[in-house]
Each structure stands twice: as C-alpha cells, then as structure tokens.
Amino acid sequence: NGNLNLETASRKRRKISVKYHDEDIEECYHKVRILSNNPTVTDLENSLDETQVELEEDIIRLEDTKKNLQQVIESEKQHGNEVLFRVIQSKNEDMIRYSQEKDEINRRLQGENNRNKEEINRKEEIIRRLIEENNRKEEIIRRFED
C-alpha cells in the first residue's frame, strides 16, 4: 500500500528478505508493480518533470501568442490612426472645397450686386435727367403762359 512510511517498509523488507531470496523479491516486486500499475515515487517525479516541461512549453507558446497579439493590436491601432487621419484629411479637403465654393458664390453675388447697383445708379441718373428735362419743359411752358 502506498501509505506506508519508510520505517514500516524497511521492517517489512527485512522480514521478507529472511524468507525469500533477493532475486525472488525483485521479480515479485516487478510483477506487482506491473500488475497493480501503482506509480513509484520515481514515476511520479518523472511525471511531474514531464508536466513541468509541458507547462514551460505552454508558457513559452502563450508568451509568443501574447507578443503576436500585441503586435496585431499595435498594427490595428496604427491602421486605425491612419484611417482616422485619412478621414480627417478628407473632411479638411471637403471643408476647403466648400469654403472655396462659398467664396466663389460670394464673388458672383458681389459681382451681381455691383452690376445691380450700377444699373440702379444708371436708372436713377436717367430718372434725374428726365426730371430735370421735365422741370425745364414745365419752366418753358410757364414762361409761354405768362
């Protein structure tokens, strides 16, 4: 049984060795070990060593995966920043284009406004001349009437 302490095992070994030869004991031990498949301390230590190696390999793989994921995240951040920069640049270009269109419309409206003012001034001048001419004619008519 695997729960025996070393002292008990040592005493039992001495009792058994008195009755049996060492070779018989060894052969029996191997048969029992194979049949019962009870792991020995060495087997357990080996198993722990293998498990530790597997865990260390897993840790290395996880660290590699972490590095790769960090690179992907950085790449995505960079890509996101580039996309954001392009969007901002596009919006700036749209704003500049809109501002230029607005300036062009304002220039055209200012030109139309100036032409309208000139037309108004010209018509006012015509009206002023007609009024003056009318006043002269009325003056001439008054003189003839007097």
Residue with tokens 């001048």: 125
Residue with tokens 């029996």: 28
Decide: 37 and 44 in contact? Cβ < 8 Å. no
Report the amino acid identity of residue 17: S
Q: What per-residue confidence (pLDDT) applies to 114?
A: 94
Q: Does residue 133 have a pLDDT over 80?
A: yes
Express as a percent the part of the chain with pLDDT over 90. 55
What is the distance between the alpha carbons of residues 48 and 110, in angstroms, rounded to a whole number?
Answer: 90
Among 18-32, 93-107, 116-130, the minimum mean pLDDT is found in 18-32
Q: What per-residue confidence (pLDDT) applies to 1?
A: 45
Locate the domains of the chain by residue range.
39-145
Q: Does residue 58 have a pLDDT over 70?
A: yes
Q: What per-residue confidence (pLDDT) applies to 51?
A: 83
pLDDT band per the 50, 70, 90 thresholds, residue 105 = very high
Q: Which two tokens stand for residue 134?
A: 């009318």
What is the distance between the alpha carbons of residues 38 and 12, in angstroms, rounded to a whole number?
Answer: 18
The pTM is what?
A: 0.42
